[in-house]
């Protein structure tokens, strides 16, 4: 794993290629978007943030205003040590303004991702979006319609907390994830133009939280890429894994349809169809008992939750990948790992544990100007690496999130 990069960096809005605007909701919400493209791979996309940018010095005051009381010195986290220098927050808004704001954000992301791939909106056959706490149950339907995407294109909403976008990408690439009696998403979308991403309005989601760590760690962020499954991105091996968080180390409110029942021997995921072309993949969460949106067990709890199982899943996929390369008499290796950025210490420890298993590949840190943006992080990290990826490169995607859910894939590019 590489060292934490550019930790003295500033706001995402200060990056030279970010296009800045103000979304006309309430008194105006700052918005920034960066477009990325690699024509040799045939892949492009866009990522964005919205709301005021708060650095580590400004953040305690903002969190105190949300809590209605100042943070004590001992409650202020050392966020730079965890890999974060800024993140984006919005003021308290009405429900109608929250909806309009995030619909506009999502619509802009889809439109720019379509253009970054050189497509027309009418070319798109699928839109798969990961979201921890959607602002509305039909969010993906609404942003796709606003972006001009055909009504008959498949839309999939994936609610697996921070693993949502990688769960969506895995669904688009891996036909083995198909369930009897359900549409096989990968088979349906093979060879077609597909948008995949994560859109996380976490400032809204955490606005009524009382957990002081969560309020300091999370912020808004979103990213969407365009892929043609089996052509511009081809799955080699992948594993999807569930391990329910009985201890409640990271408790998350389910603001989406789910029976909230655990059936022994059954998946924690519920697949439903809300409309003829809309599937919902919804994961069971350990919800806070007090009704708040999120409760964390502290940083060591997050390490316990994600590292042990995460290392096992990555090790399993890496082993399968190595066996595949051996069977092909190939000397290829993983060129880069795109790993969910819960925080830098978790990723660093995960890298060290993998090294003990003889597993090592580049895992760059790239999101210090966003904070933890949940399901958006892997997509943003991939887009920031996109220019350096070459046709034939092998990429390991490692998504993990509360619940607990893991989606790990080795893919061949271009």
CATH number assigned to the domain comprising residue 400: 3.40.47.10
β strands within 114-188, DSSP E: 126-130, 154-159
In a domain, 364, yes or no: yes
For the chain, what percent of residues have pLDDT higher than 70? 98
| Dihedral (CA of 141, 145, 146, 149) sign | positive
Asked, for residue 6, whether it belongs to a domain, the answer is: no
pLDDT of residue 298: 85
Widest CA span in the chain: 62
pLDDT, residue 7, reads 41
Tell me the mean pLDDT in the region 102-107. 98
C-beta separation of 173 from 186 below 8 A = yes
Determine what percent of the chain is predicted with pLDDT higher than 90: 91
What contacts 24+ positions apart, CB below 8 Å, involve 170-173? Answer: 170/238, 170/240, 170/399, 170/407, 170/409, 171/128, 171/281, 172/126, 172/128, 172/196, 172/227, 172/229, 173/229, 173/230, 173/233, 173/234, 173/235, 173/238, 173/409, 173/411
Q: How many domains does the chain have?
A: 1
Q: Residue 244 class from Cβ within 10 Å (0-12 exposed, 13-18 middle, 19+ buried)?
A: middle
Q: Is residue 4 part of a domain?
A: no
Query: Looking at residue 1, what is its pLDDT?
Result: 39
CA distances from 331 to 32, 86, 231, 361, 388 (A): 41, 40, 22, 14, 20
Query: What is the per-residue pLDDT for 6?
Result: 39
Residues 6+ apart with CB under 8 A from 194: 124, 125, 126, 127, 128, 172, 226, 227, 228, 229
User: Is residue 262 packed enough to be buried (19+ CB in 10 Å), middle (13-18) or exposed (0-12)?
Assistant: exposed
**pTM metric for this prediction:** 0.96
The predicted pLDDT at position 332 comes to: 94
More confidently predicted of 4 and 301: 301
In a domain, 24, yes or no: yes
Does residue 3 lie in a domain region? no
> Does residue 82 form part of some domain?
yes
The mean-pLDDT minimum among 104-108, 158-162, 342-346 falls in 342-346
Other C-beta atoms lying within 10 Å of the C-beta of residue 38: 21
| Residue 216: inside a domain | yes
Mean pLDDT across the chain, nearest whole number?
95
Please check the confidence at residue 348 and state whether its pLDDT lies above 50.
yes
Taking residues 104-125, report their average pLDDT: 98
Residue 187 has pLDDT above 70, yes or no: yes
Q: What is the mean pLDDT of residues 61-80?
A: 96
Indicate whether 2 belongs to any domain: no
Domain boundaries, position 365: 12-413
Confidence of residue 365 (pLDDT cuts 50, 70, 90): confident
Q: What tens digit of pLDDT does each residue of 192-215 get? A: 999 999 999 999 999 999 999 999
Instruction: Tell me the per-residue pLDDT of 137-148, one tens digit each, with 9 for 90 and over.
Output: 999 999 999 999
């Amino acid at each position: 794993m590489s060292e934490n990069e550019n930790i003295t960096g500033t706001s995402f809005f200060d990056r030279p290629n970010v296009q800045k605007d103000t979304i006309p909701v309430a008194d105006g919400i700052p918005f920034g978007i960066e477009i990325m493209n690699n024509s040799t791979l045939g892949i492009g996309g866009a990522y964005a943030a919205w709301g005021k940018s708060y650095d580590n010095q400004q953040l305690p005051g903002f969190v105190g205003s949300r809590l209605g009381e100042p943070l004590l010195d001992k409650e202020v986290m050392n966020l730079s040590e965890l890999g974060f220098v800024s993140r984006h927050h919005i003021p308290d808004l009405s429900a109608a303004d929250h909806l309009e704001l995030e619909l506009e954000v999502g619509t802009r992301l889809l439109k720019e991702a379509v253009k970054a791939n050189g497509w027309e909106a009418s070319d798109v056959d699928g839109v798969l979006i990961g979201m921890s706490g959607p602002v509305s149950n039909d969010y993906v339907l609404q942003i796709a319609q606003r972006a001009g995407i055909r009504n008959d294109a498949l839309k999939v909403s994936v609610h697996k907390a921070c693993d949502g976008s990688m769960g969506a990408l895995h669904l688009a690439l891996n036909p083995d994830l198909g369930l009897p009696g359900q549409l096989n998403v990968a088979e349906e979308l093979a060879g077609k133009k597909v948008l995949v991403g994560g859109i996380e309005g976490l400032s809204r989601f955490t606005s009524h939280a009382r957990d002081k760590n969560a309020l300091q760690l999370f912020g808004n962020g979103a990213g969407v890429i365009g892929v043609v499954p089996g052509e511009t991105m081809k799955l080699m091996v992948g594993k999807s894994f569930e391990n329910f968080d009985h201890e409640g180390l990271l408790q998350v409110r389910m603001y989406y349809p789910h029976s909230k029942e655990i059936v022994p021997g059954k998946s924690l995921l519920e697949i439903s169809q809300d409309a003829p072309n809309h599937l919902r993949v919804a994961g069971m969460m350990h919800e806070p008992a007090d009704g708040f949106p999120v409760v964390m067990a502290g940083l060591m709890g997050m390490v316990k939750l994600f590292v042990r199982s995460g290392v096992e899943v990555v090790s399993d996929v890496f082993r399968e990948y190595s066996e595949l390369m051996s069977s092909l008499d190939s000397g290829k290796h993983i060129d880069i790992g795109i790993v969910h950025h819960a925080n830098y210490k978790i990723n660093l420890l995960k890298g060290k544990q993998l090294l003990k298993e003889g597993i090592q590949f580049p895992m760059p840190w790239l999101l210090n100007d966003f904070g933890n943006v949940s399901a958006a992080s892997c997509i943003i990290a991939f887009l920031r690496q996109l220019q350096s990826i070459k046709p034939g490169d092998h990429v390991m995607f490692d998504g993990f999130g509360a619940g607990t859910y893991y989606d790990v894939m080795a893919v061949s590019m271009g």
